[in-house]
Amino acid sequence: MNRQTLLGLGFLSPALLAVVMFFLLPVVLTVVFAFTNMSTSTGILGGEYQISESDLRRLPAAGVREEAVEMLAGADYAVRADTLALFAAEFGDKRAQELEALHGGASFDDRRAMERALKDLRRDPIRSVRERKAAAELFRISILGQRFPTEAAFVEAITALGIPEADQAALTEAAYTGWTFTTQNFELLWELPATWRYALNSALYVVLTLAFNVGFGLFLALSTFYLPTRTAQTFRAIWFLPRILPPVLYVLMWQWLTWDQGFISAILRPFGIEPINWMRHTATHAWTFIVLINGCVGASLGMILFSSSLRAIPETQLFAAQVDGANRWQQVRFVLLPQMRWPILFITSYQTLSLLTSFEYILLATDGGPGRQTEVWALAAYHTALSNYGGNLEYGLGAAYALALVIIGILLSALYLRFFNFRDLVAKPRIEQ
- Positions 97 through 126 that interact with another protein (CB under 8 A): none
Does residue 143 contact residue 157 with C-beta atoms inside 8 Å? yes
203 to 222: interface string for another protein, x by CB under 8 A: -----------------x--
> Which residues does 109 contact at the CB level (< 8 Å), separation at least 6?
76, 77
Q: Which stretch binds another protein (CB under 8 A): 81-89, 102-110, 112-120, 355-363?
A: 355-363
> Which residues does 354 contact at the CB level (< 8 Å), separation at least 6?
none
Count of positions (residues) in the chain:
433
Nearer to another protein, 104 or 256 (CB): 256
Out of 29, 62, 169, 192, the residue judged to bind another protein by CB under 8 A: 29
66 to 85: interface string for another protein, x by CB under 8 A: --------------------
Smallest gap from Cβ 409 to another protein, in A, equals 5
Does residue 212 contact residue 299 with C-beta atoms inside 8 Å? yes
Q: How many helices (H) and strands (E) does the chain have?
A: 22, 3
Nearer to another protein, 30 or 172 (CB): 30
Query: What b/e sequence results for 248-259 when a residue is b if at least 16 CB atoms lie within 10 Å of its CB, and e otherwise?
Result: eebbeebbebbb
Give the footprint of another protein on residues 259-288 (CB under 8 A): 259, 261-263, 266-267
Residue 359 within binding range of another protein, rule CB under 8 A: yes
Out of 12, 62, 73, 152, the residue judged to bind another protein by CB under 8 A: 12
Q: What 3-state class would DSSP assign to 76?
A: strand
Residue 196 within binding range of another protein, rule CB under 8 A: no
Judged by CB under 8 A, how many residues of this single chain contact another protein? 107
Separation CA 173–CA 193 (nearest Å): 30
Nearer to another protein, 239 or 287 (CB): 239
Out of 25, 62, 203, 207, the residue judged to bind another protein by CB under 8 A: 25
Separation CA 320–CA 415 (nearest Å): 38
Does residue 381 contact residue 298 with C-beta atoms inside 8 Å? no
Give the footprint of another protein on residues 225-254 (CB under 8 A): 226-228, 231, 235, 237-249, 252-254
Nearer to another protein, 29 or 62 (CB): 29
Separation CA 37–CA 280 (nearest Å): 34
Does residue 353 contact residue 409 with C-beta atoms inside 8 Å? yes
Separation CA 235–CA 218 (nearest Å): 14
Separation CA 395–CA 388 (nearest Å): 11
Smallest gap from Cβ 15 to another protein, in A, equals 4
- What is the Cα gyration radius of the chain? 35
Out of 108, 212, 287, 395, the residue judged to bind another protein by CB under 8 A: 395
Residue 47 within binding range of another protein, rule CB under 8 A: no
Q: Which stretch binds another protein (CB under 8 A): 68-76, 136-144, 185-193, 360-368?
A: 360-368
132 to 171: interface string for another protein, x by CB under 8 A: ----------------------------------------
Nearer to another protein, 175 or 214 (CB): 214
Nearer to another protein, 90 or 419 (CB): 419
Smallest gap from Cβ 154 to another protein, in A, equals 25
In sign, the C-alpha dihedral spanning 267, 270, 271, 273 is: positive
Does residue 110 contact residue 162 with C-beta atoms inside 8 Å? no
Nearer to another protein, 334 or 420 (CB): 420
Separation CA 213–CA 343 (nearest Å): 13
Smallest gap from Cβ 120 to another protein, in A, equals 54
Give the footprint of another protein on residues 292-331 (CB under 8 A): 296, 301, 304-305, 307-308, 328
Separation CA 321–CA 332 (nearest Å): 10
